[in-house]
Amino acid sequence: WSKDGKPLQAAQRFSFNYLINEGKAIFVISNVKLDDGGNYTLEAKNPAGEASTTAKLTVKLVPTID
């Protein structure tokens, strides 16, 4: 996984899971922050080939009443 072209590592707020038999990859961000917004890319490679997919995450502020 990468964000805006920079590799991501699993950390307290980021977790990765792969459901190989279902062909799914899951990426979870806990306690999302404004600066988490960006383009997230998953790249997969094996002897048969390679594939990638990118998703854009937009984080918005929650409205407040003063």
The 10s digit of each residue's pLDDT in 16-52 is 899 989 988 899 999 999 999 999 999 989 999 999 9
| Among the listed residues 63, 44, 61, the one whose alpha carbon sits nearest the alpha carbon of residue 53 | 44
pLDDT of residue 64: 82
SS3 content of the chain, % helix, strand, coil (to 5): 10, 50, 40
35 token code pair: 């600066």
| Among the listed residues 10, 8, 1, 16, the one whose alpha carbon sits nearest the alpha carbon of residue 53 | 1
- Average pLDDT score over residue span 4-12: 87
